Structure 1
Amino acid sequence: MSVTGDGFDPARRLACLPMYDIPEIARGTDRLWSGLAARLSARGVSRVPLRLTRVTDPRPVWLDNNLLMAQTCGYPFVTSLAMRVSYIGTPCYAADGCVGPRYRSWLVVHRDAFGRSLEEFRGRRAAVNSWDSLSGCKVLEMMLPRGETLDIFFSSVTISGAHASSIDQVSRGVADIASIDCVTWALLARHRPAVIESLRILDAGPLLPALPLVTAATTPAADLEALRGAIKDLLADDCSDCFDDTLIRDVSFDSERDYGEITARLSQVGVDGSGGGRRGKN
């Protein structure tokens, strides 16, 4: 299936839930989408995709005008995706560190590492999942001393490609510290406990809006309302099989304005909130 940003074509609509879709919960994520798809069809939405689109890089999917539903990161949501997607809602997760539709990052280090504060990791090696990740990069930038950048504070910054990869690098001693989404941490604690047990939490990042569910800005208003209604239907039906694996316990539909806090916090610490930032070296 091609993924493009061309005109709206309801015959090839896309659904993608990539942010926490580790292999161990892929079947649970599929069950979640199957439940939503059935309820969307029941609400009259046409050409609902039967299967999720799974891609290595979700950015083209987020920008596709035929996107029916996806989950994205809060930082792209307020920068590169602004005016390109419409907000559906924000999942609330049953994970330590989450409060309602908010989550935080854990700064994690090897359990045997010397140091009890971020300052004691000055000059060491950091692993970052992506430059445009709120939980993995921007939170780390927020927590640096004012005026300092990743490349000043750390001796090196490696782009790992995923939170799980950052965790693996710290576990193996390839990196010394990483900022990890608390939902990812909870999922890996459930499914890969040996890796998590090799690490410890050094500090907690600020409580921020969790990862939003979005649809293309071209999605008809009636379909946007159907998306919200189908999610409410699924929650009301107590479809535990659809939610347990993903740790979703509820969805907030009135948290869109909260995402402005992300750019405000980044501006306060001198990080560009328009899509750039204080970057370290690769």
Structure 2
Amino acid sequence: MQQVDVQSTPRLVGFPWYDSSKTRDLWSGFWVVMHQMLLSRGIQNLPFELDRKTDPRDQWINPQLLLSQCCGLDLHYHDMDHIVPVARPAIPELQCEPGDYYSYVIVRGDVKNSGRIVVNNERSRSGCTSLLEWLRNRGLRPELTLVSGSHQESIRYIKQGIADIAAIDAYSASFLDMTELKIVGTTRPTAAPPFITRLDIDIPRELLIEALEEAVRVKGVSLGITEVIPTERDAYSDLEADWQNGSR
């Protein structure tokens, strides 16, 4: 059986949380800046292009993972013990502390019922547990929970009357079609989804942070990001408590 030489296999880089059809070129340019800097520091086997084909969960378990993104909730699953957060983006458009984010709670303009909710993913803070928490704090319980697969699909569910209420990552919302929708609230701010790498990565974490900072300096304005904040797991400890206390 032929063995694969991981030392010569290209590393894997993807930004699956915010890389969409509308932002594709922007994130590609972001990676170009990082690529050039890391290459100048002697880092080898860097991919020329971002990985947009691999499911995020498959990215995270890939031994060649260099950089990806995940939800803060994901860090509390046992299958993520080999993953460490690197940094999180600061988004000045959002009315919260730098490095935090929240979601918009949305309905159609003519809908007042909150019985049918749609979530993007059951492991999502922005689209699932934040909405359940928001509803619970108002004494409301969903009668039906649908899973759409993405924020964009959740918006479609609301617009087509398939569901009544959803929570959409407020940063993502700036790149999505929110027409015909009404924002009825915002969820509790928490630490934004982090850039992540493997615990056993052979590159200093500080170098990844430096490369992210350079990419933000050059390309951040177009993405609405002003800085990246070095981040540890404990920044997401409140999400673990939410999960254990039944926000799901």
User: TM-score normalised to the size of structure 2?
Assistant: 0.89
Give me the identity figure in percent.
26
Partner of 1:72: 70
Alpha-carbon offset, residue 88 of structure 1: 1.1
Deviates more, 1:249-258 or 1:130-139: 249-258
Q: Closer, same or farther in 2 for the Cα pair 1:216/1:10, shift >3 Å? A: farther
Name the aligned partner's letter for residue 258 of structure 1: A
Q: 1:174 to 1:51 in 2, by over 3 A?
A: same
Q: Deviations over 1:144-173 (max 9, x none)?
A: 437x9xxx9223211111001101110121
* Residue ranges of structure 1 left out of the alignment (5+ in a row): 1-5, 115-119, 272-277
Q: What's the TM-score, normalizing by structure 1?
A: 0.79
- Other-structure match for 1:135: 126
Match of 1:214? 196
More helix by share: 1
Counterpart CA distance in 1 for 2:146 and 2:5 is 37
How does 1:254-273 map onto structure 2 within 5 Å? 254=231, 256-267=233-244, 269-271=245-247
Unpaired runs of 5+ residues, structure 2, are none
1:181 and 2:169 aligned: yes
Amino acid in structure 1 at the alignment position of 2:98:
G
* Runs of 4 or more above 6 Å deviation: none
Rounded Cα–Cα distance in structure 2 between residues aligned with 1:31 and 1:98? 27
Report the secondary structure of 1:24's partner residue: coil
Deviations, residues 12-39 of structure 1 (Å, cap 9, x unaligned):
2100101111201100110001111111
| Aligned partner of 1:158 among 117, 124, 146 | 146
Q: Indicate how the Cα distance of structure 1 residues 59 and 159 shifts in structure 2: closer, same or farther if over 3 A, else same.
A: same
When the two chains are superposed, the root-mean-square deviation of aligned CA atoms in Å is: 2.3
- Match for residue 107 of structure 2? 109
Please point out which of 211, 217, 232 is paired with 1:230. Answer: 211
- Aligned partner of 1:251 among 220, 228, 239: 228
Instruction: Please show how residues 44-123 of structure 1 align to structure 2 within 5 Å.
Output: 44-55=42-53, 57-114=55-112, 121=114
Task: State whether structure 2 residue 179 is matched by structure 1 residue 197.
Answer: yes
Partners of 1:58 and 1:231 in 2: CA distance: 19
Q: How many residues align?
A: 244
